[in-house]
Chain A
Amino acid sequence: MKIFSESHKTVFVVDHCPYMAESCRQHVEFDMLVKNRTQGIIPLAPISKSLWTCSVESSMEYCRIMYDIFPFKKLVNFIVSDSGAHVLNSWTQEDQNLQELMAALAAVGPPNPRADPECCSILHGLVAAVETLCKITEYQHEARTLLMENAERVGNRGRIICITNAKSDSHVRMLEDCVQETIHEHNKLAANSDHLMQIQKCELVLIHTYPVGEDSLVSDRTKKELSPVLTSEVHSVRAGRHLATKLNILVQQHFDLASTTITNIPMKEEQHANTSANYDVELLHHKDAHVDFLKSGDNHLSGSSREGSFKETITLKWCTPRTNNIVFSSISELHYCTGAYRISPVDVNSRPSSCLTNFLLNGRSVLLEQPRKSGSKVISHMLSSHGGEIFLHVLSSSRSILEDPPSISEGCGGRVTDYRITDFGEFMRENRLTPFLDPRYKIDGSLEIPLERAKDQLEKHTRYWPMIISQTTIFNMQAVVPLASVIVKESLTEEDVLNCQKTIYNLVDMERKNDPLPISTVGTRGKGPKRDEQYRIMWNELETLVRAHINNSEKHQRVLECLMACRSKPPEEEERKKRGRKREDKEDKSEKAVKDYEQEKSWQDSERLKGILERGKEELAEAEIIKDSPDSPEPPNKKPLVEMDETPPVEKSKGPVSLLSLWSNRINTANSRKHQEFAGRLNSVNNRAELYQHLKEENGMETTENGKASRQ
C-alpha cells in the first residue's frame, strides 16, 4: 500500500563498455525461406545479438511490462555507462515511455569495440544512479507539499538494476562498496538540500551477463543487507534469451505481478479463415487480481509452470460473449467488481496476444471462468478495455452478504405510486457529468472546480422539485415546460426571458379560456377544487418555482415581475367578455402592458408588488388547506361523468395521449405554444386517467387497511 516503496524509482545502469559489443553467441535465424520459393537458394547466415543488444532489449521489455501495468507513479531512469555516465531521461512523467527511451538509446548506439577499455567503467553509471535516486520526483514533491510539516513521511527508496559484465566476485564486491560509499556521501549532501532527498533504502540488483557457452566468473548471491540503507543481490545470467527471462522474473518480483493464462480463445486460422482453433494467451498483472485464490487456498487452478519462466500461472477459461454487439455487451450490466488491474501480455506481438488485445480494444468485454471439473460455472474475472487500456476485473464470486435484502418497495416511501420517475430521469440526464481537463477560472481569477459547479447546478435544479405527480400541477403541464426548463439556469438570455414571458401569457390565455388543468385529485374526495381555484393553485406553484430563482440574476427577477403582473389581471368576468378576440392581439397587448409596467417601475410599484406577494402567500396557504382537506364526500363514480361534461367535445375526439411522454418530449415546446387546445386536451385525458387511478387507489386503500391488497 506504500506509494513510495522501492518500486517508485528504478534506475537502470547498463554497461556500454567495449566488452559489451561481444556477441552473445546465440544465433538468430532471420532469413526464413518460404516453402514455395525458388529452390537452391542458401539462406543468409544467422546473426547474433551483442551482449549490449541483449541487455537493452531485456531492460526495454522490463520497462514495457512496468509501463503497461503501472503507467503512473512507477518511474525509470535509464543510465548507460562507459567513459562516463549518460543519463538518458529524467524522473518526469513525460519522460516515462518506451518511445523516449528507445530514441535515447538509438542516439547512444552500440558500444564501440575499439574504445579504450581502461577509460570505461560501470562505476560512472552506478555513481550517477545514486545521484539520481536523491533527486526528487514530481510525486514525491507533490506529496511533500501536501503533507507540509509531515513531509518527512514521504519516503525515498529506490532500486538500481545494473547489467554489466563483471570480472570476478571481488569485482562485484568492489561495485557494491562503491555504491554504499556513494550513498553515504550523497545522503550527506542531500541532508543540506531542499530539492534532494536522502536515500532511505536502496536495493541493488547486479546482473552479471556473459556469452552463452562461457563459464561464469561470478557467483549468484541472494539478497543481502550490506547496510541499513543498502541491500544487494547478484545474478549471474547467460546472455540471449536467458537474460530476458531473468528480467521478466525480476519485473514480476519487483512489482508484485502474477500471471494469468486465458485459455480456449477461439481464433480464426490464418490459412483457413473459416475454421477456428483455440489458443492460450498469458497476461501479467498485479497479483491482487488473484487474491481470491490465495485467500481460499484454491491452488488447484495453478500449477502449470511454463517452460523457461519458472513461475506459476493461473488458468482461466474464455467465455464467448453472448452477443457481438459492442453497445449491448457493454451496457448490459454493472458487475460487482472488487478490483481492476492493468494487464500486459507476456508475448505482446504474438498473433494470439494481438488478436485478444485487439478484440478487447474494440470495446468488447470477456468474462473469464474458472476451469472446474465438476459443479457449477464460476465466473471470477472479466477482461475489459477502457479508453485503450485493458484491465482484468476481479468479479466477486462469493455469495453477497447482502443476500435477500428487503425490496425498496417495502421500506419508507415504498408504497407511493406516483413518483415522477420519468421527470427525474430527465433531470439526471441534464445533470450528467463530463470531464473538464483544462483549468477554468472564475471572474475573480480563482480556480473553478468543475465538481463544485456540478453541485451548484444540482442545488439550483432542486430548489423546487416536487417528488410525486399529485404534488404538482405545473410540472404536469406541457405549457409550463419552456419556463420550467430555463428558470433553473444560472443566467438567462433575452430569448429565455422572452420564452418565459410567452409561457406566462399563454397560461393567462388558458385561464381566460377556462381550460381545465391537471390538478391532482388524489387525497381529496369529490371532484376537487373549482376551476378558478385550480388556476390559483397553479399560479401559486409557478410563483414558488420562479421565486426560488429570483436571486440568480436580474433577468430571473424580470420573469417574476411578468408573472406577478399577469396574475394581477382584472377579474375573470372581465376576461370572459374579451373572449372572441384574436389571440395575437391579446399577446401584443399584454406584451405592451409588460413593457409599460417595466418602464413605470418605481418604489410604489414594488410596494404594490409586495402587497401582491403577501396576498399570494396567503392564497398559497389557503390553497394548501383546500387541497389537503377533503371536500364534502360525493359518490366517487360520479366524478368521471362530471369531468367528461366539462371536457370540450372537440378535444375529446383527439384521443388519449400520455401526459408524461408528452412532457418529456421537449422538442415540441414551440408547437405547444401555437396549439393552445393541446394542453386542454391533455388535461382532460389526464384527468380522466387520474380519476380512475384515484378510484383504484381509494378502493385499494380500503382493502390495504385489512392488510390484503398488494400494490401494483
Chain B
Amino acid sequence: MPTVVVMDVSLSMTRPVSVEGSEEYQRKHLAAHGLTMLFEHMATNYKLEFTALVVFSSLWELMVPFTRDYNTLQVVLVTDGCLGIGRGSLRHSLATHNQRGESNRFPLPFPFPSKLYIMCMANLEELQSTDSLDCLERLIDLNNGEGQIFTIDGPLCLKNVQSMFGKLIDLAYTPFHAVLKCGHLTADVQVFPRPEPFVIDEEIDPIPKVINTDLEIVGFIDIADISSPPVLSRHLVLPIALNKEGDEVGTGITDDNEDENSANQIAGKIPNFCVLLHGSLKVEGMVAIVQLGPEWHGMLYSQADSKKKSNLMMSLFEPGPEPLPWLGKMVQLGPISDAKENPYGEDDNKSPFPLQPKNKRSYAQNVTVWIKPSGLQTDVQKILRNARKLPEKTQTFYKELNRLRKAALAFGFLDLLKGVADMLERECTLLPDTAHPDAAFQLTHAAQQLKLASTGTSEYAGYDHNITPLQTDFSGSSAERI
C-alpha cells in the first residue's frame, strides 16, 4: 500500500526537548529522525513502496507528490498532539462533525481503503493531560477503526523515537518473505506488497486468514481457461538471495553500496526457479495455480508493463473451496494423467474448462416472461407466424404453442389459452384456397387442445403434457411436396 506521510510543522513542534547531553533537540528533530529511520527501512526492505510527504500547520503543502492516485493508502501522521484552537482546529472540527453536509464533508473516513497511523511526538501522560488523545482516537474511529496511535514510551529522546518508529515498521512495513515451491524446485521470494490478512465472514469465520509462507504450486492452467478471474489483490513475486541468517543479501543498512552490487551480481548469475517459471509461463501463455493456505489459492503469471519489462506476479483469489465457478472446486482439480484420455486433446485443441453449471441461467434457456405486454405479444406472434406456414412449420408451431401453454398454466392465465384458441380458429377461416389441407386440420386440432387445457382440469392441463401434431395422412400430396 502506498504511504502518505503527513507531518505536523506547526509552531508547537519546535518546542525543545530536554535531553541529557549538550545538544538541544526540538520535537520536529525527533520526528525527522524517526521518519529517516522509516524511509531507510523502506529503501532497503520495502523498495517498491510509493511514498508522498505532506506538511501542515494551519495550511498544508504537498512536498513530495505521488505520481498518481491509488486504490488504497497508508497514512502516517506525525504530530505532537497539540491540536490548536479555534475554527479549523481538530478539536473544533470534531465538535462540529455532525453539522457537516455533503459539500464540506470531513476528510475521514477516506473514500478509499486506508490505514491511519498517528505518530505522536509526545508521551502518553502528556497527551492524556489534555483531550488530545481522545481527539486522535476519534480520528481512528472515524476511519472505521483502521489504524493505530503510537506514543513515545518514556522521556522524549532519539532512542525512544526510534523504538516507536520500530513498532510502526514491525506493524506495517515488514517485508513478506516466502518460499515458492513446485515439487522439488524452490526459490526464496519476497511478496510485494505484503498480502494483508483477509476475513471471509465475520460471523462464521471471524479470524483473519493469512497466507502461508510456503507458496506451493499445484498445477498449471491456460490463460484462456482461467480467463481474467476476479482477485483480491496482486503482488510482485521477487526472487531474493538469503544469507545464512535469513536476511536478504546486501540489504542491511550497514552494507555499503559496492558490497551490495557485487552480491547482487553473484545472485544474478545463480539460476533461480522464479526466472525459469516466469519465462515458461510467458512463452506458454499459462498461469500456475498456487496454494496459499487451507482452501485458499492464487495464481502466478507473467506480467509485462508498458515498457516491456516483465515480472512474476501473484494474484490472490478469494478464500474458499470454489473461488472461480468456471474451474469448479479447487480440490477436485487433478493431474491430466489421471484422466482416461487427455482432456486437452492429443493436438491440444480442446479444454476441460469452463465447467458448465447444472442449471442454465434464464437468458440461456428461453424463459417466458409476460410482465410487459410486448413479451406476450411476441410469443403470440411467433405462433401466428408459424401457423401461417403450416404444414412446413409444424414442428416449430407446436414447440411455440407448447411453450405458451406451459407458461399460461404455471401463471394460471387460462384466459390466454382461450384467446389463442379463438385466434387459431379465426386463422383457420382465413386460410387461402391454396393452403395445404393439413394446415386447417392442425389449426383446428391445436385450438381444440388449448381450449381443453384452459378448462384447467387435470387430464388436459398437465404441465408436462405436450400438444402433439395431429397425425394426418396426405400420402399423395406429401409425396408431391417432397
Contacts and interface: CB of A to CB of B under 8 A. Distances in A.
Interface of A: 1-4, 28-32, 38, 41, 44, 47-50, 52-53, 56-58, 60-61, 64, 67-68, 71, 97-98, 102-103, 105-111, 143, 147, 153-155, 241, 244, 295-297, 327, 330-331, 333-340, 342, 344-345, 347-350, 353-354, 357, 361, 365, 382, 384, 386-390, 393-394, 396, 398-399, 401-416, 419-422, 424-425, 427-437, 440, 449-451, 453-455, 457-463, 465, 467-468, 471, 489
Q: Which of A147, A333, A401, A413 has the most CB of B within 10 A?
A: A401
A699 B19 CA distance: 60
A330 B68 CA distance: 31
Residue among B307, B330, B369, B430 with the highest chain A CB neighbour number at 10 A: B369
Nearest to B318: A339
Contact of B227 (A107, A108, A330): A330
Contacts of B420: 30
Interface string B273-301: 11111111101111111000000000001
Contact of B419 (A31, A155, A337, A427): A31
A1 B199 CA distance: 9
B305 to A, nearest CB: 7
Contacts of A153: 203-204
A30 to B, nearest CB: 5
Given A30-B373, A410-B268, 11 more contacts: A295-B111, A333-B228, A388-B360, A413-B187, A425-B280, A431-B335, A432-B344, A435-B328, A450-B333, A457-B337, A465-B183
Given A357-B363, A433-B335, A451-B218, A143 B204 contact: yes
A340 B323 CA distance: 11
Contacts of B360: 388
Given A354-B363, A431-B335, A49 B413 contact: yes
B200 interface: yes
Nearest to A394: B230
A252 B219 CA distance: 39
Nearest to B373: A28
A244 B373 CA distance: 12
12 contacts: A29-B377, A31-B380, A53-B413, A102-B407, A296-B111, A390-B363, A401-B50, A413-B273, A431-B335, A433-B221, A462-B184, A465-B183
A349 B377 CA distance: 12
Given A44-B426, A52-B412, A454-B218, A405 B338 contact: no
Interface string B152-194: 0000000000000000000000000000001111010000110
Nearest to A283: B363
A413 B234 CA distance: 22
A167 B335 CA distance: 65
List of 7 A-B pairs having minimum Cβ-Cβ separation, nearest first: A413-B272, A450-B334, A462-B183, A110-B412, A387-B354, A106-B463, A386-B326
A451 B334 contact: yes
A572 B357 CA distance: 65
Nearest to B273: A467
Contacts, number: 422
B28 interface: no
A467 B463 CA distance: 65
A25 to B, nearest CB: 13
B372 interface: yes
A398 B288 contact: no
Contact of A435 (B278, B332, B337): B332
B280 A411 contact: no
B359 interface: yes
B414 interface: yes
B260 to A, nearest CB: 13
Contacts of A354: 363
A457 B335 contact: yes
B433 to A, nearest CB: 13
Contacts of B285: 331
Nearest to A397: B71
B364 interface: yes
Residue among B363, B372, B410, B422 having the largest count of chain A Cβ atoms under 10 Å: B363
B128 interface: no
A437 B328 contact: yes
Contact of B280 (A416, A428, A432): A428
Nearest to B219: A433
A431 B219 contact: yes
Nearest to B226: A334
Nearest to A16: B412
Contacts of A416: 268-272, 275
B286 A408 contact: no
A32 B380 contact: yes
Contact of A32 (B221, B368, B381, B416): B381
B339 interface: yes
B369 A349 contact: yes
Contacts of A489: 337
Contacts of B289: 433
Interface string B365-403: 001111111111110110000000000000000000000
A651 B278 CA distance: 36
Given A244-B371, A411-B238, A432-B221, A401 B70 contact: yes
Contact of A44 (B185, B241, B422): B422
Contact of B416 (A30, A339, A432): A30
B88 interface: no
A388 B203 contact: no
Contacts of B344: 429, 432, 434
B267 interface: yes
B461 interface: yes
A386 B326 CA distance: 6
A339 B185 CA distance: 32
A3 B201 contact: yes
A41 B71 CA distance: 65
Given A4-B203, A424-B277, A430 B336 contact: yes
Contact of B270 (A357, A412, A427, A450): A412
A142 to B, nearest CB: 11
Contact of B218 (A107, A339, A422, A455): A455
A409 B325 CA distance: 35
B221 to A, nearest CB: 6
B3 to A, nearest CB: 11
A462 B185 contact: yes
Contacts of B411: 49, 53, 56-57, 60, 105
Given A349-B378, A449-B331, A459-B184, A50 B412 contact: yes
B12 interface: no
A399 B313 CA distance: 16
Nearest to B368: A349
Contacts of A327: 224
Contacts of A399: 67-70
B272 to A, nearest CB: 3
B236 A402 contact: yes
B182 A407 contact: no
B463 A348 contact: no
Contacts of B305: 403-405
Interface in B112-142: 112
Contacts of A31: 380, 419, 423
A58 B370 CA distance: 9
A388 B204 contact: no
A110 B414 contact: yes
B309 interface: yes
Contact of A454 (B201, B335, B372): B335
A520 to B, nearest CB: 13
Given A411-B239, A460-B183, A1 B356 contact: no
B239 A413 contact: yes
Given A44-B426, A388-B357, A428-B288, A436 B412 contact: no
B271 A386 contact: no
B276 A463 contact: no
Residue from B1, B231, B359 having most chain A Cβ neighbours under 10 A: B359
B371 A412 contact: no
A265 to B, nearest CB: 15
Interface in B209-259: 216-224, 226-231, 234-236, 238-241
